[in-house]
C-alpha cells in the first residue's frame, strides 16, 4: 500500500479517477437494466459491472494491490467459501428439480 508521503500524493490522482469510473459505471448499470435482454443475461451484465466496481474499490481505495501474499490467501479462502455458500443452495434446488423430473410419469 501507499506508505510514504510521496506515494500518497501520487495515489490521490488515482482515487479521483476511480471515483469518476465508479460514477460512470453506476450510470451504465442503470442504462443496462433497460436493455431488452433475457433475465439471465441481465443478471450477468449487472453482476459483471458490479464486480468491476467492487474490484476498483478493493484494489485502489482499500490498497489491496500492494499488500502481501498472506492477506491474499485470507481473501482467497473467504472468496472460496463465499462461492460455496452461494452455489450450494442453487445446486441443491437444481438436483431436487432434476429428481422431480425423473419421477414424473
Partner 1 sequence: MSSELLPHTLDAHPVTGMYNGKFGVWLFLASEVMLFGALFSAYILLRTHGDFPTHKETLLNYKIGALNTFLLITSSVTMVMAWASFKLNDPGKGKLYLWITVILSCAFLFIKIKFEYMHKIHEDIIPSTSTFYGIYYCMTGLHGLHILGGVVVMLYFLTVGSGLWNKNQQQFTNRIECTGLYWHFVDLVWIFLFPVFYLL
Choice between 12 and 99, CB closer to partner 1: 12
Q: Closest Cα to residue 53, out of 19, 10, 81, 87?
A: 19
Q: Residue 11 CB, nearest distance to partner 1 (Å)?
A: 7
Choice between 81 and 99, CB closer to partner 1: 81
Residue 78: HSE in the Cβ half-sphere, 13 Å Cα cutoff: 5
Report how far residue 42's alpha carbon sits from residue 45's, in angstroms, rounded to the nearest whole number.
5
Q: Residue 102 CB, nearest distance to partner 1 (Å)?
A: 18
Q: Residue 38 CB, nearest distance to partner 1 (Å)?
A: 12
Residues at the interface with partner 1 (CB under 8 A): 1-2, 5, 8-9, 11-12, 15-16, 18-19, 22-23, 26, 29-30, 33, 39, 42-43, 46-47, 49-50, 53-54, 57-58, 61-62, 67-68, 70-71, 74-75, 77-79, 81-82, 85-86, 88-90, 93
Report how far residue 85's alpha carbon sits from residue 3's, in angstroms, rounded to the nearest whole number.
36
Report how far residue 103's alpha carbon sits from residue 53's, in angstroms, rounded to the nearest whole number.
44
Report how far residue 61's alpha carbon sits from residue 58's, in angstroms, rounded to the nearest whole number.
6
Amino acid at each position: 500500500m501507499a506508505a510514504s508521503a510521496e506515494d500518497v500524493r501520487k495515489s490521490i490522482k488515482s482515487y479521483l479517477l476511480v471515483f469518476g469510473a465508479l460514477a460512470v459505471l453506476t450510470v451504465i448499470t442503470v442504462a443496462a437494466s433497460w436493455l431488452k435482454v433475457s433475465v439471465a443475461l441481465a443478471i450477468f451484465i449487472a453482476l459483471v459491472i458490479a464486480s468491476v466496481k467492487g474490484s476498483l474499490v478493493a484494489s485502489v481505495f482499500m490498497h489491496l494491490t500492494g499488500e502481501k501474499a498472506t492477506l491474499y490467501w485470507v481473501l482467497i479462502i473467504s472468496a472460496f467459501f463465499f462461492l460455496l455458500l452461494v452455489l450450494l443452495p442453487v445446486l441443491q434446488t437444481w438436483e431436487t428439480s432434476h429428481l422431480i423430473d425423473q419421477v414424473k410419469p
